[in-house]
């Protein structure tokens, strides 16, 4: 059962939410924040493999359709299959393997710093502790190791069907990521805030418990590792960035 707590960001309501959550109950908070404070509200639930899939973009829809096709192929042929649900991937094993695209948050920040421009935040009025979107970031090395573990699990059990989250179970806000990037790179550029982008949910954080159970896998690298290794790769291709 899920309990709706009206005014759950207020003085009394926040204590009620805290008590219910500590007792293992599921809660949803409704509060207009006229007197309440968003930081009093605990983080919304982790995304599990049983969380209903409701893609918010065509990209997400294609990922879900891909899972359907993989699962259907497995049922029709008896093949063992696995669908690994990536969360936000960053970092590099070595500088030459770093991401060369500028489509995700970390390289987008790097690009702005290289141009001597402030990093951009798309919306700072989300219902999160600092108002910016919260995401689960996973080091690409940990992601690759999850693939190895999944391949071995499928080889050991023909006909197996796995759908697993590959994340760390830890939310980091956009503003917090920018702070880490500034610290790692030696820059000190406060971000500018632009309007929200359509389709950006406030918070998406994985529960990786099932991956730990099914694959005996767990992420080993933190955000500092991701940023440090990604920056080394960026500077290799953009040496002028190191002089910024």
The catalytic site residues sit at 59
Q: The tokens of 61 are what?
A: 């829809």
The answer to whether 99 and 92 are in contact (CB under 8 A) is yes
- What is the three-class DSSP state of 159? coil
The answer to whether 119 and 181 are in contact (CB under 8 A) is yes
Between CA 86 and CA 136 the distance in angstroms is 10
Q: The tokens of 234 are what?
A: 């960026």
**What DSSP string describes 14-47?**
HHHHHHHHHTT-EEEEE---SS--GGGSPPPPPB
Between CA 54 and CA 133 the distance in angstroms is 18
Between CA 134 and CA 169 the distance in angstroms is 12
Torsion sign, CA atoms 190, 196, 198, 201: positive
Angle between helices 105-114 and 174-185 (to 10 degrees): 50
């Amino acid at each position: 059962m899920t309990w709706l707590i009206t005014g759950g960001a207020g003085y009394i309501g926040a204590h009620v939410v805290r008590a219910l959550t500590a007792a293992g109950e599921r809660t949803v908070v409704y509060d207009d924040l006229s007197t309440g404070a968003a930081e009093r509200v605990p983080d919304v639930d982790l995304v599990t493999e049983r969380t209903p899939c409701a893609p918010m973009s065509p990209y997400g829809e294609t990922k879900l359709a891909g899972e359907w096709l993989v699962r259907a192929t497995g049922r029709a042929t008896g093949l063992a299959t696995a669908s690994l649900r990536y969360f936000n991937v960053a970092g590099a094993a070595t500088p030459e393997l770093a991401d060369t695209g500028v489509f995700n948050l970390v390289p987008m920040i790097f690009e702005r710093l290289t141009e001597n421009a402030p990093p951009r935040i798309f919306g700072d009025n989300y219902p999160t502790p600092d108002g910016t979107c919260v995401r689960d970031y996973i080091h690409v090395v940990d992601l690759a190791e999850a693939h190895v573990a999944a391949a071995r699990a499928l080889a050991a059990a023909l006909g197996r069907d796995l759908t697993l989250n590959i994340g760390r179970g830890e939310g980091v806000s956009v503003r917090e990521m920018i702070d880490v990037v500034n610290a790692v790179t030696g820059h000190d550029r406060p971000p500018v805030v632009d309007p929200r982008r359509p389709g950006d949910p406030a918070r998406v954080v994985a529960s990786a418990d099932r991956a730990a159970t099914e694959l005996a896998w767990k992420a080993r690298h933190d955000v500092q590792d991701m940023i440090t290794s990604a920056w080394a790769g960026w500077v290799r291709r953009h040496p002028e960035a190191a002089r910024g």
